[in-house]
């Protein structure tokens, strides 16, 4: 039996009669990098919104570490270790890179914030923040104003602020979106690196990224789960190939080699 960190049972979300997520049974294995793929409008982001409780499901259940979290609130989910990194960069542009990570650390501490006001503990906070920056390759950018960071580095910072929250399960919505070749490569390597000892569920359109680092792939189409398996399995699935007809079909094939 697989060790499931996350499971949905018949997860469904309707918007005024339109079914955006339709009876989805998603199973994410602990330690995996799991990709959620599918054409535009397939329901991937809605799925993420359900998992992080930004949306309430119309029906169905969500289990995290075997516990039913369907009724939990967003903050509770975060405290349990389910942390989402945003599709749109969620860092403060007019603060330094280090300050952004520090805020992430303080947020993780929640109500014990006051504990960190002594100078000794502030030092420890900085130490941990620098450690996280090093982990994502930003040690040389600590004092840089976040707005001045190149795009790809901003995504790395976002990952650092997510790591500050001590995620057990990290949700990444299109982490390489809008990036050039080099940044895609760097962020892909970074995701692979930070996946050690964690589980990652990511929405990703770049099939090179998916085939390169993902252990398992779930394919959504019109809100429903179309296929699930390794990249080799799903990419040769006729239904998946049909769903990706057009430019993406070539993408799917191209990433196979």
Ligand X SMILES: Nc1ncnc2c1ncn2[C@@H]1O[C@H](COP(=O)(O)OP(=O)(O)OP(=O)(O)O)[C@@H](O)[C@H]1O
Residues at the interface with ligand X (CB under 6 A) = 15, 18, 20, 38, 40-46
Nearer to Mg ion, 141 or 244 (CB): 244
Nearer to ligand X, 18 or 115 (CB): 18
Tell me if 96 sits within 8 A of 157, measured CB to CB: no
Q: What are phi and psi of 223, to 5 degrees?
A: 85, -15
Least Cβ distance, residue 216 to ligand X (angstroms): 18
C-alpha span between 96 and 81 (Å, rounded): 26
Least Cβ distance, residue 21 to Mg ion (angstroms): 12
Nearer to ligand X, 37 or 160 (CB): 37
199 part of the interface to Mg ion, by CB under 5 A? no
188 part of the interface to Mg ion, by CB under 5 A? no
Least Cβ distance, residue 161 to Mg ion (angstroms): 21
Question: Rg of the Cα trace of the chain?
Answer: 19
Residue 38 binds: one of ligand X, Mg ion, none (C-beta under 5 to 8 A by kind)? ligand X
Which 32-51 residues touch Mg ion, going by CB under 5 A? Answer: 44-45
176 part of the interface to Mg ion, by CB under 5 A? no
Residue 20 binds: one of ligand X, Mg ion, none (C-beta under 5 to 8 A by kind)? ligand X
Binding-site size for Mg ion (CB under 5 A) equals 2
Nearer to Mg ion, 57 or 104 (CB): 57
Nearer to Mg ion, 160 or 203 (CB): 203
Q: What are phi and psi of 128, to 5 degrees?
A: -65, -40
User: Applying CB under 5 A, which residues contact Mg ion?
Assistant: 44-45
């Amino acid at each position: 039996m697989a060790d499931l960190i996350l499971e949905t049972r018949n997860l469904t979300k309707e918007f005024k009669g339109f079914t955006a997520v339709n009876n989805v049974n998603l199973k994410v294995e602990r330690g995996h990098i799991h990709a959620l793929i599918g054409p535009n409008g397939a329901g991937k982001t809605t799925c993420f919104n359900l998992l992080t409780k930004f949306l309430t499901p119309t029906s169905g259940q969500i289990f995290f570490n075997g516990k039913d979290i369907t009724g939990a609130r967003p903050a509770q989910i975060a405290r349990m270790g389910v942390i989402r990194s945003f599709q749109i960069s969620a860092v403060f542009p007019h603060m330094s890179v280090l300050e952004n990570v520090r805020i992430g650390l303080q947020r993780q501490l929640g109500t014990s914030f006051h504990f960190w006001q002594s100078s000794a503990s502030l030092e420890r906070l900085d130490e941990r923040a620098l450690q996280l920056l090093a982990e994502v390759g930003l040690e040389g950018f600590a004092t840089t104003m976040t707005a001045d960071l190149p795009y790809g580095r901003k995504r790395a910072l976002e990952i650092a602020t997510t790591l500050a929250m001590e995620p057990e399960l990290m949700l990444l919505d299109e982490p390489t979106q809008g990036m050039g070749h080099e940044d895609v490569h760097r962020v892909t390597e970074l995701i692979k690196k930070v996946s050690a000892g964690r589980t990652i569920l990511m929405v990703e359109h770049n099939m090179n990224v998916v085939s390169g680092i993902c252990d398992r792939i779930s394919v959504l189409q019109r809100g429903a789960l179309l296929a699930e398996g390794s990249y080799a399995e799903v990419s040769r699935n006729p239904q998946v190939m049909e769903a990706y007809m057009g430019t993406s079909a070539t993408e799917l094939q191209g990433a196979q080699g």
